[in-house]
Amino acid sequence: MKGRRDFFPPLDIGAGRIELGHGSGGRATAQLIEELFSAAFDNDWLRGMNDQASFEAPPGRLVLTTDSFVVSPLFFPGGDIGCLAVNGTVNDIAMAGAKPLYLSASFILEEGFPLADLHRVVQSMAVAARAAGVAIITGDTKVVERGKADGVFITTTGVGNVPDATRIDASRARPNDRIILSGTLGDHGVAVLSRRENLHFETELRSDSAPLHELVAAMLAVAPDLHCLRDPTRGGLAAVLNEWARQSDVGMIIHERAIPIRPEVAAACEFLGLDPLYLANEGKLVAVCPPQSAEDVVRAMRRHPLGRDATIIGEVRADAHRAVEMETAFGGRRLVDWLSSDPLPRIC
Amino acid sequence: MNLTEAFRDADLARRMATTIATEVSPHRRYSLMEFCGGHTHTLARYGLEQLLPGNVEMIHGPGCPVCVLPGGRIAAGIALAQRPGVILCSYGDLLRVPARHGATLMRTRAAGADVRMIYSTRDALAIAQRHPDREVVFFAIGFETTTPATAVAVTEARRLGLQNFSVFCNHVLTPPAMSGILAAPGGVAVQGFIGPGHVASVIGSRPFERFAEQDGYPIVITGFEALDLLQAIRQLIRQINVGRAVLENEYRRVVSREGNEKALALIDEVFTLREDFEWRGLGRVAHSALRLRDDFACFDAEARFALTVEDVPDHKACECAAVLRGAIRPEQCKVFGTACTPDNPLGSCMVSSEGACAARYRYATRGVPRAGTEAV
Amino acid sequence: MCLAVPARITELRPGGLALVDMGGVSKEISLALLDHCAVGEWVIVHVGYALRRLDAAAAEQTLQLFMEAARESD
């Protein structure tokens, strides 16, 4: 005979919304986890419904990283907050030369957030995690009152492992090293901008959000002694190069003509008055590499789908001022300044 | 023809620069002022000055409407944003400009005000229509290039019968500003002008003829691509070499002598001249700015909200007035790059990236003192 | 000041609006400041408004001027 406790209506993913009760830790929370998160991420750890997950310690050194994702709008051409949350953390692990293994995912949900949107985000995370070969093995859910979150905020923490011998670090750039970029700049930044209210424009551009660990593995296979690696997310290429220049106490020079930029990105930057060097990328990396391996690394990258446009864009040099400079398309020189805040569209 | 690419041909640029090098007289110094911040930006982002011979110097003029906006008017805009129920709409350029004590529209938003960045006045109108219960104020800035956009918004607001839309008008005029620099005590240390191409696209090249005919300065109305600038610099040098002073129009693909008459009529319908206007760095200049006509008073935020605008003087150490006239270079200002940086601007030249000092700080290589980057 | 970019009109829309293409990016802008624009024409766009038509013949002549200037150095 069916008891009272067996009858509980399934989540109304089509029309339902997040309610404060979903964060209370009671039955509604369990249902949300089971029917939405666990169903999508689909592994034994989550099915176990524990507050934690345990796993065998992998060989080598462990790498830990965490990132919060607050992007607005939540959905944009080529991606959404969900795949960013997975790929972003996978990439932070990859930038240490490490193999990403497991992720945790915490959600802060706004009361009233449509379950259909949450479902879409979670599905996107599941697809991204499978593509990256990682499992989302534990997580958390909280709900805040309407108005206190932008729909959803996601924090992912990732664990990976890296061979002891790999020492990639921001302080390792040396004069004469080559600076390598894996592909076109600014695609993600412009794709997101195109969906911002008050800036709305149409473009075929899509976010480049992608997991980069296999590309990195291909690079390390030909050049185990890569010096620096990073994905130029917020702040763009300019931020990464300036950070490295400071940490390594060197200067850098890049060549505008060598930097691949899609025409649509260039066009969007023109009419908004933005500089692609400062725009976010979610599926690109920049590397500093000893000069003798640079060509081999680029060749290896070009054999990989995410590195087809890989190219050497500049070199590191001694400089007490730690300046990052660019040789412009016209042969002049300009500084690539380290901005303290996001660039804004301008009229002037 | 790809209109953008053809005007950015690097090989052409290199060869034009070589031509310029053969045409300068080695015994002369050439000081040319580009009035417009957009030109300053093109020069800086492409490092074009390095392609020029050493005796050609570009002096960066005050044609940056953000830079010349007095702190008191930004403060008034901030006060408007802080009024309950107001949605303040602004172009991106203004959001980080400091008024007093580091207050900016951005920080005001962080403190709870509803400040929205827009790309176009159309967006401000749309916001007003979507929120009939809120007061929507557009913080209007810009020279004559940008004024027509505000004029359209005001006439459109009237046509739509909007009851909740107004404009805080800070539109300024180019020819009076140029005359203001020329009239400044000490005069101006330039021999020719790169004329503002987009201002001229609206007002025509005719209003600039007086600078040649009456004031004796060669002036070339110039487009904004690298090749436009190199061509205009060459034309100015050739005029200076033979002691000629005429207006030349390099930007014929966009600029005519009469300008955009439809836009000018709209501006005239909506705006009238202010007696005078305080310019940051230039002081008080007569008949150099616009306000809404009395006919449109209900769309004038200054009238609607009984705004008072304080006088916020610049820092004592600020030498912008001298920089704007070309009397000193940015690096020669005692506080350049130390107390005065783009993050903490003491005066107008550092305020927006087209400002003479900000452009120098952000883009110029070597020899620029940079606070906080010296190796320890 | 005055960031204005060349754009090609790809579609006329009611209310004096138009869709323009700026090198692969499309945006809806206002033609309120111009008269009788047609699809295929080039304009320069500033803060969401077409300010002036771009005269292709004049552009061509200007490019010729640049090339003459460049030739002087050869």
Q: Is C25 in CB contact (< 8 Å) with chain B?
A: no
Q: Give me the residue from A203, A346, A348 closest to C24, CB to CB.
A: A203
Is A261's pLDDT higher than 60? yes
Cα–Cα distance measured from residue A73 to residue A195, given in angstroms and rounded to the nearest whole number: 7
Other C-beta atoms closer than 10 Å to the C-beta of A152 total 21
Contact assignment for A331 to B51 by CB distance below 8 Å:
yes
**Model pLDDT, residue B372:** 40
Q: Give me the residue from B6, B9, B120 closest to C48, CB to CB.
A: B120
Cα–Cα distance measured from residue B96 to residue B93, given in angstroms and rounded to the nearest whole number: 7
Does A234 lie in the same domain as A210? yes
Q: Is C66 in CB contact (< 8 Å) with chain B?
A: yes
Same fold, B3-58+181-249 and B71-174+259-304: yes
Which residues form the domain of A74? 15-162
Domains of chain C: 5-71 (2.30.30.140)
DSSP string, B239-295: HHHTT---EEES-TTT--SS--HHHHHHHHHHEEE-SEEEETTTEEEET-BEEE-GG
Does A133 lie in the same domain as A191? no
Other C-beta atoms closer than 10 Å to the C-beta of A109 total 24
Q: How far is C12 from chain A (nearest CA, A)?
A: 16
CB proximity under 8 Å: B 298-337 to A: none
Within-domain flag for A9: no
Written as one letter, the residue type at B364 is A
Q: B71-174+259-304: CATH homologous superfamily? A: HypD, alpha/beta domain 2 (3.40.50.11740)
**Model pLDDT, residue C73:** 82
- Angle at the Cα of C26 from the Cα atoms of C22 and C32, rounded to 5 degrees: 85
**Pairing status of strand B135-142 against strand B165-171:** parallel
Does A322 lie in the same domain as A194? yes
Chains B, C: CB pairs < 8 Å: 142
Mean pLDDT of A301-315: 98
- Which chain A residues are within 8 Å of C22, Cβ to Cβ? 267, 270-271
Q: How confident is chain B (376 residues) per 10-residue block, as mean pLDDT?
A: 80 94 95 93 91 94 86 94 97 86 90 94 97 98 97 98 98 94 82 97 98 97 96 98 98 98 98 93 90 97 94 84 83 93 84 84 69 37
Q: Is B349 in CB contact (< 8 Å) with chain A?
A: no
Written as one letter, the residue type at B171 is H
Q: B3-58+181-249: CATH homologous superfamily? A: HypD, alpha/beta domain 1 (3.40.50.11750)
Q: Is A243 in CB contact (< 8 Å) with chain B?
A: no
Number of separate domains in chain A: 2
In the structure encoding, which two tokens stand for residue A90, read together? 């996978």
- Which chain A residues are within 8 Å of C2, Cβ to Cβ? 347-348
Within-domain flag for A345: no
Question: CA distances (Å), B167 to each of B97, B157, B163, in order?
Answer: 19, 10, 12
Written as one letter, the residue type at A7 is F
Within-domain flag for A3: no
pLDDT digits (tens, 9 = 90+) for A180-228: 999 999 999 999 988 886 778 888 889 999 999 999 999 999 999 999 9
**Model pLDDT, residue B1:** 53
Within-domain flag for A148: yes
pLDDT digits (tens, 9 = 90+) for C14-45: 999 999 999 889 999 999 999 999 999 999 99
In the structure encoding, which two tokens stand for residue B323, read together? 């920089």
Domain boundaries, chain B: 3-58+181-249, 71-174+259-304, 325-362
CB proximity under 8 Å: C 41-60 to A: 45-47
Q: Is C65 in CB contact (< 8 Å) with chain A?
A: no
Contact assignment for B46 to A323 by CB distance below 8 Å:
no
In the structure encoding, which two tokens stand for residue B371, read together? 């606070």
Q: Give me the residue from B11, B38, B228 closest to C3, CB to CB.
A: B38
Residue of C nearest to A268 (CA): C25
CB proximity under 8 Å: B 29-88 to C: 36-38, 63-65
- Which chain C residues are within 8 Å of B203, Cβ to Cβ? none
**Model pLDDT, residue B240:** 97
- Angle at the Cα of A99 from the Cα atoms of A98 and A105, rounded to 5 degrees: 105
- Which chain A residues are within 8 Å of C13, Cβ to Cβ? none
- Which chain C residues are within 8 Å of B263, Cβ to Cβ? 33, 51
Three-state DSSP at A135 gives strand
Query: Which ipTM was obtained for this model?
Result: 0.95
Q: Among A162, A181, A212, give the residue marking a domain's end.
A: A162
Touching C (3+ Cβ pairs <8 A), the chains are: A, B
**Model pLDDT, residue A120:** 97
Does A255 lie in the same domain as A154? no
Instruction: Find the CATH number of the domain harbouring A87.
Output: 3.30.1330.10
Q: Among A114, A137, A162, give the residue marking a domain's end.
A: A162
* Peptide bond preceding A73 in cis form (omega within 30 of 0): yes
**Model pLDDT, residue B373:** 37
Instruction: Find the CATH number of the domain harbouring A183.
Output: 3.90.650.10
Q: How far is B315 from chain A (nearest CA, A)?
A: 23
- Which chain B residues are within 8 Å of C23, Cβ to Cβ? 4
Q: Among A133, A162, A191, give the residue marking a domain's end.
A: A162
Q: What are phi and psi of C9, to 5 degrees?
A: -75, 125
Global pTM? 0.91
Does A213 lie in the same domain as A180? yes
Mean pLDDT of A145-169: 94
